[in-house]
Amino acid sequence: MEKRTLGTSDLKITPILMGTWQAGKRMWVGIEDADSVKTIRSAYEAGITTIDTAEVYGEGHSERIVAEALSDVRDRVEYATKVFANHLQYNQVIEACDRSLKNLRTDYIDLYQIHWPTGAFNSPIVPIEETMRALNHLKAQGKIRVIGVSNFSGIQLAEAAKYGRIDSLQPPYSLFWRQVEKDAMPYCIENNISILAYSALAQGLLTGKFPPGTKFDPADNRAKNKLFQGENFEHAQQALDELRPIAQRYNCTLAQLALAWLIAQPQTNAIAGARYAEQAQDNAKAGNIQLSPADIAEIDSIGRIVTDHLDSNPIMWEW
Active site residues: 57
**Is 316 within 8 Å of 226 (Cβ atoms)?**
yes
- Residues 148 and 194: their CA atoms lie apart, in Å, by 9
Got the DSSP string for the chain?
---EE-TTSS-EE-SEEEE-TGGG-TT-SS--HHHHHHHHHHHHHTT--EEE--TTTTTTHHHHHHHHHHGGGGGG-EEEEEE-GGG-SHHHHHHHHHHHHHHHT-S-EEEEEE-S-TTGGGPPP--HHHHHHHHHHHHHHTSEEEEEEES--HHHHHHHGGGS---EEE-B-BTTB-HHHHTTHHHHHHTT-EEEEBSTTGGGGGGT---TT----TTSGGGGBGGGSHHHHHHHHHHHHHHHHHHHHTT--HHHHHHHHHHTSTTEEEEEE-SSHHHHHHHHHGGG----HHHHHHHHHHHHHHHTT--S----B--
- Residues 183 and 173: their CA atoms lie apart, in Å, by 12
Helix 90-104 to helix 128-141 angle (10° resolution) is 40
**Is 63 within 8 Å of 103 (Cβ atoms)?**
yes
**Is 287 within 8 Å of 192 (Cβ atoms)?**
no
Instruction: Determine the residue type at 301.
Output: S
